[in-house]
Amino acid sequence: MEGEIDMPQTNKGRLKIITVLAIPAVIENFFQTILGFVDTYFVSKIGLAEVSAVGVTNAVLAIYFALFMAIGVAANVRIANFLGANLPEKARHISQQSIVLATILGILTGIITWIFAEPLLKLMGIEAEVLEAGALYFRIVGIPSIVMSFMFVLSAILRGAGDTKSPMKVSIVINIVNAILDYVLIFGFLFIPEMGIVGAGIATVISRLIGSIALFYYVNKTETLTFRRDYWSIDKTHLMELTTLGAPAAGERLVMRAGQIVYFGFVVALGTNAFAAHQIAGNVEVFSYMIGYGFATAATILVGQQIGAGNLKEAKHYARLSTYLTVGAMTLLGALLFFLGDWAGSLFTEEQQVIDDIGTALKISGIFQPFLAVLMVLTGAFQGANNTKFPMYLTGFGMWAVRTVLVYLLGIKLGWGLAGVWIAIGADIAFRAIVLVIQFKRGKWMALEKAPDPESHCHPQTTKENMSACANNY
């Protein structure tokens, strides 16, 4: 499904198109989740210190992901807007400029990893044993950050064009490759020596490299986005468009990750076993995110195209229906987390205290799943409506004034341990979900713009007529 999507006029038709776009994205996220799950599972067979090393590294890498994802969000929204307004050349140029920006950031983050691996990990306050393994793993997966950058941005480009199937296919392939390489490189096979945590890092990098190559192929194969040689030169105006829209999305993620680093420090203070339990529970819980991300992707695409076409009422309709679907699905998934949490923990370790902590964390997570569904889908809808600033402000307040404070008070001060940490996380999620619902009902969720400036490359506008006016300025 590429380009401008033919929109149905009935709720049944709308639900169908939401599902058609969301399911491949759900499957893609499922296999992306498998990547982290398989890594954690195999690494857990080496030792809990290695599990903590991978967990701490991924927490720092999440800052890189925030930057790459922000470019992806901007590209996704701009492409959807302009295809909705029937401006394919504008969409093509934006997509290639987002790849240029991804290349620049990928190289910069790789250099930062090479030079500052240990200092960045020390910010987490981890033990020496974990730091040594973490720095090694961090450099292996972080120096070639450019492949991570390409994975995020190329997938977002395809989704902006309404193609959620190609990223899904690539995700399936690279996760199968990763699982095989994980086993072979971590434990050794035939003439290949046992590499431990180094093998886990190498497997991840090879998988991402294969994924980037495949995604390049699919983007260039897309009729509306086929690469043009003259579009690769840096265009400051287009880069500014992407930065303007993406910066708040990056800010949101960075604020969240900065807060995460702080409260991760509180979890580390509970002990290595507690942090390992927290990390394992997070890798199990993240399966619930696959549904939320899938439907959030559909909401961003559909809202973005309707905004570009000037159908504001229809955009709100799609946002609402996407939220209803996701709440129902994630409530069922939350029940599974609640009742099967202890069993899931037993797959990773035989230490009963760690298993109990994992089970407790997942029970709490299960209770808050409906709120998480609302938070994820409405955030996607806000972004599709070009409103990336409010989610950033809300995330900053929630992360620092709610989550981090409550993690300290409940987990450390009151001595509730890991249970207190996960209650604090749930409280933050519920708070932000409720605020987004209030803003949505008040009609304060769209960032509408004025008519285009004929001297500029012009941003997506509030009406299809205004959007089409950009074609003459392109």
- For 95-109, 251-265, 379-393, which range has the lowest pLDDT when averaged over its residues? 251-265
Q: Confidence band (pLDDT; 50, 70, 90) for 290?
A: confident
The C-alpha atoms of residue 315 and residue 308 are separated, in whole angstroms, by: 10
Average pLDDT over residues 349-358: 82
Average pLDDT over residues 183-208: 83
pLDDT at position 468: 40
Per-residue pLDDT tens digits for 124-180:
666 677 777 778 888 898 899 899 899 989 998 998 888 888 988 998 888 888 888
The four Cα atoms 328, 298, 40, 154 give a dihedral, to 10 degrees, of 180
pLDDT at position 469: 41
pLDDT at position 36: 61
Res. 7: pLDDT tops 70: no
pLDDT at position 126: 66
pLDDT at position 452: 36
More confident residue, 39 or 224: 224
Per-residue pLDDT tens digits for 10-24:
778 788 888 888 888
Q: Confidence band (pLDDT; 50, 70, 90) for 375?
A: very high
Mean pLDDT of the chain: 81
Res. 74: pLDDT tops 60: yes
Average pLDDT over residues 384-408: 89
More confident residue, 457 or 401: 401
Share of the chain above pLDDT 70, in %: 89
Q: Confidence band (pLDDT; 50, 70, 90) for 230?
A: confident
Provide φ and ψ at 92, rounded to 5°.
-60, -45
